[in-house]
Amino acid sequence: MDLIGLRHEIFVARWTLLSGFTTTMEVSVLVIIIGTIFGLLLGLGLTYGNRPLRWLIRAYVDIIRGIPALVLIFFAYYATSLIGLNVSPFGAGVFALGAFATAHIGELTRGAVQSIPQAQTDAAKSIGLGFWKRLAYAILPQALRRMLPSWVNIASEMVKGSTLLSLIGVLDLLLAAQQAIARSFLIIEFYMALMIVYFVINFTISRIGAVVERRMAYVRF
């Protein structure tokens, strides 16, 4: 382990590594936001939609969940050029990972919403709340709490999944480090350093999740 050499090489490549880190964080945040918004919508559609809508969403969710994220990324990357869209690797990658996250969060939302006892809906109906108010005041506040631990898992999966974008040429943290490795041959050192970085990112996410969970957990079942 050549830690002095590693420090020097990190300094030499600091701007590339920094921009790689920024890209990784950008991809992760974008994908998590996209996945959460559309996933919640799909999950509600799966629970409350009419039959054709449910079938459509079910097909989408099951197909996407059955395909490796890498295949989705290649598909999006190579296929967007065909329909005349000049999408950057970054855009194609975020699109593919976002579609992936959407399917997973959709399924998660469905499970959480359906796990809320029917009595809750009945109670909300009996005090005269309409559909949207029932959702906003009775169902979602409970369902979102139940989703939180798995949502945190999916979020950290997406941070890890963002490395796949390096395979279509997005200069993320992994690709930036590989460029530094190509110059310095400090293979073990750089990959170990990356492991620590990803560990810290994911550990932070899971800590934040745990804190939020504790603060929100005033409903006990």
Partner 1 sequence: MRYNFNWPVIWRNADRLYDGLLLGLAIAIVALAAGCIIGIALAACRQSRSPLLRLPATAFVEVLRNTPLLLLVFFVYFGLPELGISAFDNLQCFTLTLAIYSGAYLTEVFRAGLAAIPTAYIEAGKAIGLTSWQRLRYVILPVLFRIVLPSLSSTLISLFKDTALAAAIGVPELTYGARWINVNTFQVLETWTVTAGFYLAASYVIAVVLRRVERRYAMVR
Stretch 76-135 residues interacting with partner 1 (CB under 8 A):
78-79, 82-84
Least Å distance between CB 28 and partner 1?
Answer: 11
Which range, of 38-46, 128-136, 152-160, 208-216, touches partner 1 by CB under 8 A?
A: 152-160
Which long-range CB contacts under 8 A does 61-64 form with residues at least 24 apart? 61/103, 61/106, 61/107, 64/99, 64/100, 64/102, 64/103
Locate 142 and state its tokens: 């409970």
Determine if 55 is a binding residue for partner 1 (CB under 8 A): no
Backbone angles phi, psi at 220, to 5 degrees: -115, 140
Identify which of 20, 33, 5 has the alpha carbon closest to the alpha carbon of residue 151: 33
Residue nearer to partner 1 on the CB measure, 139 or 164: 164
| Number of residues binding to partner 1, judged by CB under 8 A | 37
Q: Are 13 and 179 in contact (CB under 8 A)?
A: yes
Q: Is 63 in the site for partner 1 (CB under 8 A)?
A: yes
Whether 177 contacts 190, CB under 8 Å: yes
Binding site for partner 1 (CB under 8 A): 63, 66-71, 74-75, 78-79, 82-84, 156, 159-164, 166-167, 174, 178, 181, 185, 187-188, 191-192, 194-195, 198-199, 202-203
